[in-house]
A = this chain, B = another copy of it.
Amino acid sequence: MTGSLAVVGLGPGDASMLTPEASLVLAEADSIYGYGPYVDRVPVRAGQKRLASDNRAERDRAAAALEAAVGGERVVVVSGGDPGVFAMAAAVCEMIEQGPEAWRRLDVRVVPGITAMLALAARCGAPLGHDFCAISLSDNLKPWAVIERRLTAAAEAGFVMALYNPVSKARPWQLGAAFDLLRRLLPVATPVVFGRAVGRGGESVVVVRLEAADAAQADMATCVIVGSAETRVVERPGLAPLVYTPRRLGR
């Protein structure tokens, strides 16, 4: 029997944003591996194994999933959002590179999903309508100096920025430091959007000016979009403002 491994993006959380491809792969799996809260989003099916693990156990989880696939199971590893964006697909590829030959012979597939910045952008207009970048603010896996350098490069070159992993209990100061850095490079009125739990229960979207952006507005479930100098806020009577970055620049 030949097993397989699929790394599946669950999207923001609500079933309405889970692709039919992801639903099908999940339904056909023998076993589901992932961080507990993501495994909990997958409907329970009789006969299907569910192996939840800690957020930081990514290498161990990938290795266990690869071993199960080599053993003949149809294995799914789940990620929130898109598995290729600061998530499990890179961890699985890394283990395949470093692990036994049998892992490099496996049928491996990545199933894309709606990543947090796309869900948040859709909720508030089109802030990612022009050139943009995605930066993880976690300095668990890279030095803070690299993050500062990237924030600076992105601001100076006019990219809108989506900030992933802005804050956690173990990383309380990084988002505030990022805002301080960006305030020295961007106009005070630059729009900043905080999206918490977008696309699932308890959603909130807040738009502020960079001068008033406060890291305390974010938690682990938040994605933050920082506009460029071109990004605009359109006020609307009785409705939430629209935030967008024009497609046209400098003409």
Residues of A near any B CB (own CB < 8 A): 9, 11, 14-21, 24, 58, 82-87, 89-94, 96-97, 101, 104-105, 108, 110-115, 118-119, 121-123, 125-136, 141-143, 146, 149-150, 152-154, 156-159, 232, 234-239, 242, 244-251
| Cβ-neighbour of A122 out of B105, B112, B118, B239 (below 8 A) | B112
| A110–B105 CB distance below 8 A | no
Number of copies: 2
Contact partners of A58 in chain B: CB under 8 A? 247
Chief secondary structure at chain A's binding surface: mixed
User: What residues on B are CB-neighbors of A84 within 8 Å?
Assistant: 118, 121-122, 126-129
Q: Say yes or no: A131 contacts B129, CB within 8 Å.
A: no
Query: What are 25 sample pairs from A and B whose C-beta atoms fall under 8 A apart?
Result: A17-B20, A17-B21, A90-B129, A90-B245, A93-B126, A94-B246, A94-B247, A96-B236, A97-B232, A108-B242, A110-B122, A110-B125, A112-B114, A112-B121, A128-B134, A130-B142, A131-B135, A133-B133, A133-B154, A143-B250, A152-B157, A153-B153, A153-B157, A153-B159, A154-B159
